[in-house]
Structure 1
Amino acid sequence: MRIGVVVNPIAGLGGRVGLKGTDGKVAEARARGAEPRAPDRARRALAELASRAPDATLFTWGAPMGAEAVREAGFDPAVLGTPDGDDTTAADTHRAVRAFVEHDVDLVLFVGGDGTAADVAEALSTPNANSDPDSKTPMLGVPAGVKVYSSVFAVSPEDAAVVAATFTRVEEREVMDIDEDEYRAGEVHPELRAVAWVPVAEDLQSSKQTGGGSVEALAEGVAQGTREGVTYVLGPGSTVGAVKRALGFEGSPLGVDLWRDGEVLVRDGSEAEILDALGEENVVVVSPIGGQGFVFGRGNPQLSPAVIRQCDVQVVASRSKLDDIGVLRVDTDDPDLDEDLRGWTRVRVGRVEQRMMEIV
């Protein structure tokens, strides 16, 4: 098997510092102390790939776009080029992917978010002088961005390696992206950017969908059940937004807000701001993403492992959303925490009603 590996080293950089994305915000993210997320996600995927397909032939791009992570996993890759400058760009991704196609790879394994997925898909759709115009080179994403709306990603880095090592057929799937400035303003309008060939496997996630059904009753139930002295960490999304309104304030629609004893402690907080405001007893309230089922790891990186470990977790969702997703998922960047969170949990679906759901 021949696999081309490319890493977007700045993917997800703005997540935990509250920027809800990295487009146009790299300098600000770094100024806020953001730590790269993508390199570690790449190492996890490649370590699993080394155990599943140790004889695979890997092609990659120079540091920080893959070479280091591939070598750390024990492979001896062919490095086909290097980035043009210190700060990598979409053009670097395009060059890498086109070089992979020229070397007849069976799969392009990329690490990034929706923007990276769009760049990879664009490069794959651009004919090369030395490539077969009818080629269907597939792509598969290791999720590392803040927002992951496309259906070309595996659920986790390890799942990406399993899919890469075992897939036998491909199908067309959608590459979606959103305008991050609109996203920061609370507007979410996913746009179809491309249709790409992707390995078929159960571990691939679906595109995000909107869950239906009224959530007013469950929001009132959460509000009525709040306890004195407890800090409530309220995640993003419309369902938890209804909880915020039931508590008497209009929260940040795509950010994390903290509330205790009738007072809003933090609005649209970063990881550091959330940690600073936590008390002795804390509850994080989250709702799964429709169509995917993620409660942690998609759209809420401010809720980091350090935050989650200091909180009890309360999941809320409409019945229709739960019917659609079937199971819940987590991908916190901490495999040990992911394992601790897995199992059966109660999800509030009404004022008092709850449903048991499995986190897998």
Structure 2
Amino acid sequence: MFKLGLIINPYAGIGGALALKGSDGAAVRQKALAMGAEQKAPKRAAEALELLAPLKDRIGIVTAAGDMGQRIAEQLGFETEVIYQPPEQTEAKDSQKLAELLMEQHVDLILFAGGDGTARNICDVVGETLPVLGIPAGCKIHSGVYTVTPKAAGKVVEKLVKGELLSLREADVMDIDEEQFRQGQVRARRFGEMRVPAELQYVQAVKMGGRESDELVLADIAAHVIESMNDELYIMGSGSTVASIMEELGLDNTLLGVDLVHNEELIGQDMTAEALLSAVKGKAAKLVITLIGGQGHLFGRGNQQLSPEVIRAVGRDHILVVATKTKLQALDGRPLIADTGDAELDKALSGPITVITGFHDQVIYPVASPGSE
């Protein structure tokens, strides 16, 4: 089940048709409503969600009550979970509060309808921690987190739910000063970045044979992982992709085993499940793992040292999956498999996961438990 977080700013764009140059501020919204303004954001969100209706048995929507998401989701027949009760007159803080709660729910994607102000509010909370996608519904749409149309947002989410390979890219959150805009001055500035799913693009940096090209991609993956390393324990799984990271670190590697790294130094080699659990239990740790080419197994094939207890000690959010796009494409749409021997854990590991495919290049790919793929 794809867990979709939904945030609708009911008042986004309310002042546009009335030439109020935006909808920021309670006074502007009250004036717009008094002038007979129509709330268009819920309708724009519905346009996106209507495209997903054929997949509603595979999507669970987590949202707030009323016009912030519940009403539209239930009207379209989606399984809906309400986690926040907003006031009748919603403000920026309500979008932010819902975003916080959605992060705690570990949703796979936050889909939101609004304008640049809404994007700013969500960015303040979410940052680059999980993927988001904007449905354009405001007066000002300068930010790169929005699709070109509401239906385009629905198409991107559809691809994610179907498990198609999409890149994750960093997109700027921009906004302008509405008071100056009303005086004829447009001054936009950048307020941050969020990660958005985008159509997968294959870019060949140099013209050379597949082996040489693969080596360059592996070096890029290694550079990404090493750049993000901090004062945590790193469990380095088996396989050639992880081995390339160890090579870049200048460390000995157990190709068919599991090693332990701290502060870019090797502190454990070819470790057993028991030794790994003892080393990481109660400590900050991450697991770097790749998939078995052609089969797609993340766990349960050749890495039994990564026991259910070890995986739970690390936590799903701290698993770094690394793979080339070529390796993922070879799966022909089949999901990655979590076969840990613990059915409850396999279910918890299922769902879209971020895969590091290059330097600052990531994609979203589905994980399934045995028998569900």
Report what 2:93 is aligned to. 91
Runs of 4+ in 1 over 3 A off after TM superposition: none
Deviation at 1:111, TM superposition (A): 0.4
Equivalent residue for 1:58?
A: 61
Instruction: Supply the distance in 2 between the matched residues of 1:71 and 1:199 (Cα, whole angstroms).
Output: 25
Residue in 1 that maps onto 2:152: 159
Deviation at 1:86, TM superposition (A): 1.8
Match of 2:140 in 1: 147
Which residue matches 2:82?
A: 79
Greater Rg over alpha carbons, structure: 2
* 1:110 and 2:105 are equivalent in the alignment: no
User: In 2, distance between residues paired with 1:156 and 1:40?
Assistant: 12
Map Cα deviations across residues 85-131 of structure 1 (whole Å, 9 max, x no partner). 22101111111111111111110000000000111111113xxxxxx
Residue of structure 1 aligned with 2:49, choices 43, 46, 50: 46
Letter in 2 for 1:33: G
How far is 1:154 from its partner? 0.8
Q: How does 1:144-223 map to 2 (within 5 A)?
A: 144-167=137-160, 168-201=166-199
Offset from partner CA, 1:302-327 (integer Å, 9 cap, x none): xxxxxxxxxxxxxxxxxxxxxxxxxx
Q: Distance in 2 between matches of 1:183 and 1:139?
A: 27
Q: Kindly state the Cα deviation for residue 163 of structure 1 after the two structures are TM-superposed.
A: 0.7
Structure 1 counterpart of 2:85, one-letter code: T
3-state SS of the aligned residue for 2:185? coil
Shift of 1:52: 4.8
Checking the alignment, whether the CA contact within 8 Å between 1:17 and 1:33 is kept in structure 2 is no
Q: Distance in 1 between matches of 2:75 and 2:182?
A: 36
The match for 2:12 is: 11
Separation in structure 2 between the aligned mates of residue 54 and residue 162 of structure 1, nearest angstrom: 17
Deviation for aligned residue 1:176: 0.1
State the Cα deviation string for residues 244-279 of structure 1 (Å, max 9, x = none): xxxxxxxxxxxxxxxxxxxxxxxxxxxxxxxxxxxx
Q: Quote how far apart the aligned CAs of 1:193 are.
A: 1.1
Residue identity opposite 2:93 in structure 1: A
* 1-structure distance, mates of 2:105, 2:97: 13
Whether the 8 Å CA contact 1:141–1:154 is kept in 2: the answer is: yes
Deviations 1:155-199 (A, max 9, x none): 111110111121433111100000101111111111111111111
Inter-partner Cα distance in structure 1 for 2:99 and 2:10: 15
TM-score where L is the length of structure 2? 0.50
CA RMSD in angstroms comes to 1.4
Per the normalisation by structure 1, the TM-score is: 0.52
Q: In structure 1, what is the Cα distance between the partners aligned to 2:199 and 2:40? A: 25
1:200 partner SS? strand
Kept in 2, the 8 Å contact 1:52–1:161? The answer is no
SS at match of 2:98: helix
Considering fraction of residues, name the structure with more helix: 2
Q: Which amino acid aligns with 2:50?
A: A
Query: How far apart, CA to CA, are the structure 2 residues paired with 1:29 and 1:10?
Result: 10
**Structure 2: gaps of 5 or more residues:** 161-165, 201-373
Check the 8 A contact 2:56/2:78 in 1, yes or no. no
CA–CA distance in structure 2, aligned partners of residues 152 and 115 of structure 1? 12
Deviation, 1:55, is: 1.1
In 2, the alpha carbon distance for the partners of 1:186 and 1:170 equals: 36
Deviation for aligned residue 1:53: 5.4
- SS of 2:113's partner is strand
AA at the equivalent of 2:149: S
Q: Per-residue deviation at 1:54?
A: 4.2
Contact residue 3 and residue 58 of structure 1 kept, 8 A: yes
Amino acid at match of 1:182: Q
Aligned residue type for 2:29: V
Contact 1:47 1:73 in 2 (8 A): yes
User: CA offset at residue 73 of structure 1?
Assistant: 1.3
Aligned length: 192
Contact 2:56 2:79 in 1 (8 A): no
Give the whole-Å Cα distance in 2 for the aligned partners of 1:3 and 1:60.
8
